[in-house]
């Protein structure tokens, strides 16, 4: 007599999984990875804690998927820019725009990454965060160094300090930026680039010529 086959578990609906990941990302960003419990995520999603395991094996699995989704999309955009053969300045501008777009799409994930990455990389399942950071640094530094070499950026530019400044000032925007707010990510990127590349002080030729003399007398 043939044995009965066990029915396969139904595949979780992608839309529902995405909704639950969004809920979890908001909780992780608000209270931190360690303080977050499966029960807290389930409560925010309006379901029993046990039901959450139908969709995900653990809170770690949820966090991994949140961060991988953010970084996969970021690198898809970055790689398209880096492979386009653009000038260093245009590459720099495009990377900044894509960074703000990533914040717009994945603001909680960016906050989690900023707050938790150093602790998470101690776990094998989150080692991809360290690899991504190394790749990120290389992409930005090579763009800055190429810009100095072809005289699009100042010869006296400290590329490592500049990289750290750009990294920190761009990604900290996740702490205040809200999607669907007054400014689009592209508009914020334009303002940011204007400040970084052109400065915020009004300068004229007379002032520029006077400054070296002023410094020499002090």
Query: What is the model's pLDDT at position 196?
Result: 92
d(CA 105, CA 114): 16
pLDDT bracket for residue 205 (50, 70, 90):
low
Q: Is the pLDDT of residue 193 over 60?
A: yes
Q: How many domains does the chain have?
A: 1
pLDDT bracket for residue 137 (50, 70, 90):
very high
Residue 14 maps to a domain: no
Are 155 and 148 in contact by the 8 Å Cβ rule? The answer is yes
pLDDT in tens, 92-110: 999 999 999 999 999 999 9
- Long-range contacts (CB closer than 8 Å, 24 or more residues apart) made by 20-24: 20/45, 20/52, 20/55, 20/56, 20/62, 21/62, 21/65, 21/66, 21/69, 22/108, 24/59, 24/62, 24/63, 24/66
Residue 214 maps to a domain: no
Q: How far is CA 152 from CA 22, 66, 95, 117, 124, in A?
A: 41, 37, 16, 33, 41
List the one residue out of 71, 135, 67 whose CA is nearest residue 102.
71
Query: What is the model's pLDDT at position 43?
Result: 93
Residue 136 maps to a domain: yes
Query: What is the model's pLDDT at position 203?
Result: 61
pLDDT in tens, 51-71: 999 999 999 999 999 999 999
Rounded (10°) angle between helices 59-82 and 127-149: 20
Boundaries of domain holding 169: 60-200
Residue 95 maps to a domain: yes
Residue 6 maps to a domain: no
Residue 207 maps to a domain: no
Domain CATH for 71: 1.10.357.10
Residue with tokens 């990941």: 21
Are 91 and 81 in contact by the 8 Å Cβ rule? The answer is yes
User: pTM, whole model, 2 decimals?
Assistant: 0.84
Q: Is the pLDDT of residue 4 over 80?
A: no
Lowest mean pLDDT segment, chosen from 31-35, 128-132, 198-202: 198-202
SS3 149: helix
d(CA 140, CA 190): 18
Query: What is the model's pLDDT at position 10?
Result: 45
Residue 17 maps to a domain: no
Are 25 and 67 in contact by the 8 Å Cβ rule? The answer is no
């Amino acid at each position: 007599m043939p044995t009965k086959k066990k029915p396969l578990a139904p595949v979780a609906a992608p839309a529902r999984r995405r909704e639950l990941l969004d809920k979890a990302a908001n909780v992780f960003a608000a209270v931190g990875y360690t303080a977050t419990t499966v029960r807290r995520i389930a409560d925010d999603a309006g379901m029993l804690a046990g039901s959450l395991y139908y969709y995900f094996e653990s809170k770690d699995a949820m966090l991994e998927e949140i961060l991988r989704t953010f970084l996969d999309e970021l690198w898809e955009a970055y790689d398209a820019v880096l492979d386009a053969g653009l000038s260093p300045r245009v590459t720099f501008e495009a990377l900044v725009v894509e960074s703000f777009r990533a914040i717009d799409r994945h603001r909680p994930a960016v906050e989690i990454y900023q707050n938790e990455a150093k602790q998470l990389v101690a776990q094998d399942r989150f080692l991809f965060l360290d690899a991504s950071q190394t790749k990120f640094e290389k992409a930005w530094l090579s763009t800055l160094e190429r810009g100095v070499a072809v005289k699009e950026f100042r010869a006296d530019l400290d590329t490592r300090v500049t990289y750290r400044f750009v990294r920190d000032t761009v990604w900290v925007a996740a702490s205040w930026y809200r999607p669907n707010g007054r400014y689009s990510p592209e508009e914020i990127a334009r303002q940011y680039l204007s400040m970084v590349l052109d400065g915020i002080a009004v300068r004229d030729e007379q002032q520029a010529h006077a400054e070296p003399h002023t410094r020499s007398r002090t």
